[in-house]
Structure 1
């Protein structure tokens, strides 16, 4: 899957986990604007439409079009259209003020996964880790591709991709939740093919299911806990004992202990 040319800013910060300075500044400005606009809506009879308009446009960068936004917020599409474009046929400029309840409904819609369109491109970390962990467990890539209704060639790209579409991520999460406790051999995968899948995962350094905590598997900054003690001085020795290459957190912890 090819990457997208998304510019640095709020959307790239959230969807691709880019933490460069322009992305951090844009995300902070967006959050501040949204909080301020919500605060205005608590007491004014009418509120300035501009912060709300900026929020609507920002959601558009996440793939949430204004018509979809209107449905999610439970407001009229005509109202959102006038907020953005005015009424060109009548020569009216975009709305300058909106009712607080309308502003709050629109501002309440956030670019969370369930609100994004299926074609929106997001960071692929969680998708990649889940599929790789299933291969480590013995699920063959061809079987995973079949269960995801994906072309085998596309699946080979997805399992190592930095970016994926929302629909692909949701499918991978559902598949992982379904299969992570099931023995692939008992489910019909030939034992020799399951072992071959495991060897591929080991050779490529893919982490097993047990190395990931549900709270961290989607975090690009998180590392797998291979030993139960990764990131501590004890972890490196366990790596050697179970014959798994030493991970970076264990190498760092060992170097820190040696320098102390």
Structure 2
């Protein structure tokens, strides 16, 4: 008898007739009959989209073992989708079960399942470090927390690429410090003020300008006021003494152009 868990597969493949396996088969058959009657029965789906997705994940430096672990499936099943079983003279699978397809297609190349040495975009890392500096955390303090030199932190904070291992460390540090007062961890008030001023001069977006799901999004832009990109946002920058962000500067210029156009129109009339 195999080590396969009790259920439908063990009933069909291993001949187990225990209560658990028998019940699993009865549930399967009942659901199948209902789906056939409803016209929604789809026991197999095309394997090609899954094959393409596996190759995409491999191009992101995810090995089959990592993909299988993330999908919760056996690595050999992925090998069959890609290459079939050459020892049996079979080529890549043309059809697979929907559950398997859904599990593999749900896998994405994230920080948690990429190899530590894989090189990725530093965008999210840069945004997190810059936001921490804007919150008053000096680069020297961040260097200590990240166990690296201040020079390396400076390179990171202005870099284009980073390895996954470092990106994870910065992400975890950001999650730990984003809402913590540096003064509570030994930072002197004048150092905090100087650090914040340096970030403001550089135009680095603060923690509050980002949502958790936008930090790593290349298409996302920081929202300093909650209304950035509008005239209301530009006014908020002025009222709150926040350095004008590019989107609000553009909105302010558009408003000024409209005012000039209205004035010229009034003169002509």
Normalising by structure 2, report the TM-score: 0.68
Match of 2:128 among 103, 106, 130: 130
RMSD: 2.9
Q: Counterpart of 1:186 in 2: which secondary structure?
A: helix
Match of 1:95 in 2: 93
Q: Do the aligned partners of residues 245 and 93 (structure 1) sit closer, same or farther apart at CA in structure 2, a change above 3 Å counting?
A: same
Match of 1:39 in 2: none
**1:45 shift after superposition:** 3.8
1:196-207 correspondence runs (5 A):
196-207=194-205
Contact residue 64 and residue 78 of structure 2 kept, 8 A: yes
Match of 2:22 in 1: none
Aligned counterparts of 1:229 and 1:45: Cα–Cα separation in 2: 49
Q: What are the superposed Cα offsets for residues 5-41 of structure 1, whole Å, 9 maximum, x if unpaired?
A: xxxxxxxxxxxxxxxxxxxxxxxxxxxxxxxxxxxxx
1:60-79 correspondence runs (5 A):
60-79=58-77
- The runs of at least 4 consecutive aligned structure 1 residues that moved more than 6 Å come to none
Aligned counterparts of 1:185 and 1:218: Cα–Cα separation in 2: 28
Q: What are the superposed Cα offsets for residues 194-231 of structure 1, whole Å, 9 maximum, x if unpaired?
A: 33322321231212223334343333333333345432
Match of 2:18 in 1: none
**1:166 shift after superposition:** 3.3
Residues 1:251 and 2:249 aligned together: yes
Unaligned runs of 5+ in 1: 1-41
The answer to which structure, 1 or 2, has the higher relative contact order (CA under 8 A, 6+ apart) is 1
**1:113 shift after superposition:** 4.4
Match of 1:59 in 2: 57
Aligned counterparts of 1:224 and 1:213: Cα–Cα separation in 2: 9
Unaligned runs of 5+ in 2: 1-39, 259-269
Deviates more, 1:71-80 or 1:112-121: 112-121
Q: Do the aligned partners of residues 87 and 135 (structure 1) sit closer, same or farther apart at CA in structure 2, a change above 3 Å counting?
A: same
**1:72 shift after superposition:** 2.3
Greater C-alpha radius of gyration: 2
Contact residue 120 and residue 162 of structure 2 kept, 8 A: yes
Contact residue 111 and residue 167 of structure 2 kept, 8 A: no
Deviates more, 1:175-184 or 1:217-226: 217-226
Aligned counterparts of 2:103 and 2:210: Cα–Cα separation in 1: 37
